[in-house]
Structure 1
Amino acid sequence: MTTFSIAKSRRVRSTPYTSRIEKQGVTAYTVYNHMLLPAAFGSLEDSYHHLKEHVQIWDVAGERQVEITGKDSAKLVQLMTCRDLSKSKDGRCYYCPIIDDQAGLINDPVVLRINQNKWWISIADSDVILFAKGLAIGNKFDVLIKEPNVDIIAVQGPKSFKLMEKIFGVEITKLKFFGFDYFDFKGVKHLIAQSGWSKQGGYEIYVENTKSGLELYDHLFDLGKEFNVKPGCPNLIERIESALLSYGNDMDNNDNPYECGFDKFINLDSDVVFLGKEKLKQIKKDGIKKKLMGVQLDIKSLSLTSSLDIKNDKDEIIGELRSACYSPYFDKVIGIAMMKKPFWDVSLPVKIEVNSNICTGNICDLPFI
């Protein structure tokens, strides 16, 4: 496969850690929120096994923040999401689908409640800040909206807990999942959450002080040697096996939260006001016509750069494959697909054309593992 370089510029920004990861052997980038996001350090499969056994340090500065402050900040954040945040608490993270007036997904961020009048929206790959500003202007909300200087370092993998305890002490191990607090590193406070885009456990360090963050980045590798620490990045294999959905890949603005399996994050019976509420009520009443499901294919490799039609034995198009990879666990290709109703039966035989060849497989539930 021919490879091409990415031209860096103000539109495709480097991160504070870019020079370090390039020395550490990054082999591929993608672009995420107009910023470079490492996509590989050599073999995806080797990195997958390492992530599941040891600890990795990820440059995920592309996971940008939209900071909303002011007396109407809670009202604006709630207007954007179908999840009821009226009982949210300081120091907690909340997974919150953001939708438009027609219930189409805009983003699926993690929302951090710093306090009642200050929120960080830790976004997936879309321009949420413009959406937020438009709503604030249209509703004459008293808020300030900006992208703060926050560059996340993720520490992921089963040994992440021991590594972080070695640096920050036993208190950090007391953080609950999706909880956050401030922890001191050589006189600088860093917001750290127990979170991350893997199911292997770990933390995300929201670096506001770049100088301290770079020192911490290096320190993680120095102290992590005994835990077999390596540089890494969100791993395609691990995230598909775990059904960690990717906005722009598995779902986009043409899909609604019910179709993506976000039922538990949809609160229609509460009194909170949010965009698309009436539309979601109608969707719930009528039922959905498509939904995300898993697919297992009887092949050993597949490089997917666009959706592929999924057909049944009658050659009818019954869905589309949106993400896929080879899974060492299943020893076959697995993927995430949007399937049309009524083709939702687990074990339903399917076929897909790959490089002019027909491969067979079956539908399954998510997650795979």
Structure 2
Amino acid sequence: MTFSIAIGPNIRKSAYFDATVRDGVRGFSVYNHMYIPGNFGDPAGEYDRLINGVAMWDVAAQRQVELQGPDAGRLAQYLTPRDLSKTRVGQGRYVPLCDHAGWLINDPVLLKLSEDRYWLSVADSDIHLWAAAIGRERGWAVEVREPDVSPLAIQGPKAADVTAALFGDWVRELRYFGFRQTELDGIPLVLARSGWSKQGGFELYLQDRSRGLDLWDRVKAAGVPFDIGPGAPNDIERLESGLISYGADMRWQDTRATPFEMGFGPLIDLDSGHDFVGRAALSRLAAEPPARQRVGLTIADTPPLPGSPVPLWQGDAQVGHVTEFAYSPRLGTTIGHALIRADLAEAADGLHLRLEGRHHAAALNPIPFVK
């Protein structure tokens, strides 16, 4: 069965939309109220480029929430339980955000551009509304807005070669999550060593959406010697590498989780003395072992992909849910991520999924599957 997605004014186009259409995009999803490419018609080839070569991705839907003003750092610190006191300008941090009950509501990368200006590079949710409301209610001098910023990702083992061809070899010295404000032929950018894969890569945070086609074509041209091609964030690779997907693994209401269940315990700083949203709830949660734990699974056969979390069973008892699974070409089997009862996270027999009237056996596997 074939479906289509309507292109209308209620969903925004990215700065690279026309370039992706020209270069053969075959499917879109919607992320942060914006179209994001899903594939370019060759899933196997796009996966291979990411694993063995280099790919370029339109990830402009990875929106930024900008905090700017004298109290920008104060608000940034109040939004996350992670201690930001030692974060330097030019340094990024992976920061869990929780609500007042301790549930995870996002897991952005925070970029500190200056002492009074921060970006939160957010997953699919309206965090700008949350942050703006908290800043206003606290009476702090900080403006919260969505700036004109459109990330473009270069990902894969050859990503550093392409990025160095564009900017120079200094990019190879950037540390992971490190970034620098720069430009490319007059195109204003923030260049970061980051991206939603474990294959190595960079993100070019374009700061003028009118230059989207220019930037796309410059990256494409620089990548020709390395056989670059367009693609999209890859669910198979993220499962193999153990990356967390907010939309799949811990989304509000559907599959919500605490930071301790997701393995974020080391990022929850209850001893630094700073106040933050959910501090009381997280203090209570930290005092007890988590009820569930995130695990990897290998799954027998090639079950149909439901496109949503599914129950995980042991006999006739539901013991968790599988948040996402897919067939891994590198491993030759279907793999998935799950939240399971904590007492079963180390050893459990008889696990299975039930899909379309069939049982598919599942076995625990360490995350990541591929290092």
Name the CA distance, whole Å, in 2 between partners of 1:301 and 1:225: 37
Instruction: Please tell me whether residue 336 in structure 1 is matched to residue 337 in structure 2.
Output: yes
Name the CA distance, whole Å, in 2 between partners of 1:262 and 1:175: 25
Please, which of 293, 296, 299 is the counterpart of residue 297 of structure 1? 299
Instruction: Report the counterpart of residue 287 of structure 2 in structure 1.
Output: 285
Question: Following superposition of structure 1 onto structure 2, how do residues 72-91 of structure 1 map, counting pairs within 5 Å?
Answer: 72-91=71-90
**Structure 2 portions without partners, runs of 5+:** none
Name the CA distance, whole Å, in 2 between partners of 1:249 and 1:36: 18
Instruction: Report the counterpart of residue 362 of structure 1 in structure 2.
Output: 363
Instruction: Report the counterpart of residue 11 of structure 1 in structure 2.
Output: 10
| TM-score scaled by length of structure 2 | 0.96
Q: Which runs of 4+ in 1 moved over 4 A?
A: none
Instruction: Report the counterpart of residue 206 of structure 2 in structure 1.
Output: 207
Query: How far did residue 191 of structure 1 move?
Result: 0.8
SS of 2:141's partner is: coil
| Cα deviations by residue, 1:131-176 (Å, 9 ceiling, x for unpaired) | 0011012111111111001111101111111111111111222211
Amino acid in the other structure paired with 1:35: M
Q: Is the contact between residue 346 and residue 364 of structure 1 (CA under 8 Å) also seen in structure 2?
A: no
SS of 1:238's partner is: helix
Question: Following superposition of structure 1 onto structure 2, how do residues 69-108 of structure 1 map, counting pairs within 5 Å?
Answer: 69-108=68-107
Amino acid in the other structure paired with 2:229: K
Question: Following superposition of structure 1 onto structure 2, how do residues 166-315 of structure 1 map, counting pairs within 5 Å?
Answer: 166-253=165-252, 254-312=256-314, 314-315=315-316
Q: Is the contact between residue 44 and residue 237 of structure 1 (CA under 8 Å) also seen in structure 2?
A: no
| Cα deviations by residue, 1:212-236 (Å, 9 ceiling, x for unpaired) | 4421210111121110100011011
Q: Is the contact between residue 80 and residue 97 of structure 2 (CA under 8 Å) also seen in structure 1?
A: yes
Q: Is the contact between residue 349 and residue 363 of structure 1 (CA under 8 Å) also seen in structure 2?
A: no
Instruction: Please tell me whether residue 28 in structure 1 is matched to residue 10 in structure 2.
Output: no
Question: Following superposition of structure 1 onto structure 2, how do residues 50-61 of structure 1 map, counting pairs within 5 Å?
Answer: 50-61=49-60
Name the CA distance, whole Å, in 1 between partners of 2:17 and 2:117: 29
Name the CA distance, whole Å, in 2 between partners of 1:127 and 1:333: 33
Name the CA distance, whole Å, in 2 between partners of 1:252 and 1:78: 22
Query: How far did residue 18 of structure 1 move?
Result: 1.1
| Cα deviations by residue, 1:254-286 (Å, 9 ceiling, x for unpaired) | 311001111221111111111111211211112
**Structure 1 portions without partners, runs of 5+:** none
| Cα deviations by residue, 1:299-329 (Å, 9 ceiling, x for unpaired) | 12431312211111x3211111111100112
Name the CA distance, whole Å, in 2 between partners of 1:43 and 1:315: 40
| Cα deviations by residue, 1:99-137 (Å, 9 ceiling, x for unpaired) | 111111111000000011100110000100010011012
Q: Is the contact between residue 90 and residue 113 of structure 1 (CA under 8 Å) also seen in structure 2?
A: yes
Q: Is the contact between residue 193 and residue 204 of structure 1 (CA under 8 Å) also seen in structure 2?
A: yes
Q: Is the contact between residue 297 and residue 336 of structure 2 (CA under 8 Å) also seen in structure 1?
A: yes
Instruction: Please tell me whether residue 321 in structure 1 is matched to residue 322 in structure 2.
Output: yes
Query: Aligned in 2, Cα 1:66/1:163: closer, same or farther, shift over 3 Å?
Result: same
Q: Is the contact between residue 56 and residue 152 of structure 2 (CA under 8 Å) also seen in structure 1?
A: yes
SS of 1:226's partner is: helix
Name the CA distance, whole Å, in 2 between partners of 1:320 and 1:276: 25
SS of 1:286's partner is: coil
Query: Aligned in 2, Cα 1:101/1:136: closer, same or farther, shift over 3 Å?
Result: same
Instruction: Report the counterpart of residue 123 of structure 2 in structure 1.
Output: 124
Name the CA distance, whole Å, in 1 between partners of 2:238 and 2:156: 13
RMSD: 1.4
Name the CA distance, whole Å, in 2 between partners of 1:347 and 1:327: 23
SS of 2:128's partner is: helix
Q: Is the contact between residue 80 and residue 275 of structure 1 (CA under 8 Å) also seen in structure 2?
A: yes
Name the CA distance, whole Å, in 2 between partners of 1:89 and 1:349: 49
Instruction: Report the counterpart of residue 149 of structure 2 in structure 1.
Output: 150
Name the CA distance, whole Å, in 2 between partners of 1:44 and 1:319: 30
Paired residue total: 367
Name the CA distance, whole Å, in 2 between partners of 1:68 and 1:91: 15
Query: How far did residue 45 of structure 1 move?
Result: 2.9
Q: Is the contact between residue 44 and residue 235 of structure 1 (CA under 8 Å) also seen in structure 2?
A: no
Name the CA distance, whole Å, in 1 between partners of 2:221 and 2:129: 40
Q: Is the contact between residue 46 and residue 230 of structure 2 (CA under 8 Å) also seen in structure 1?
A: no
Query: Aligned in 2, Cα 1:59/1:274: closer, same or farther, shift over 3 Å?
Result: same
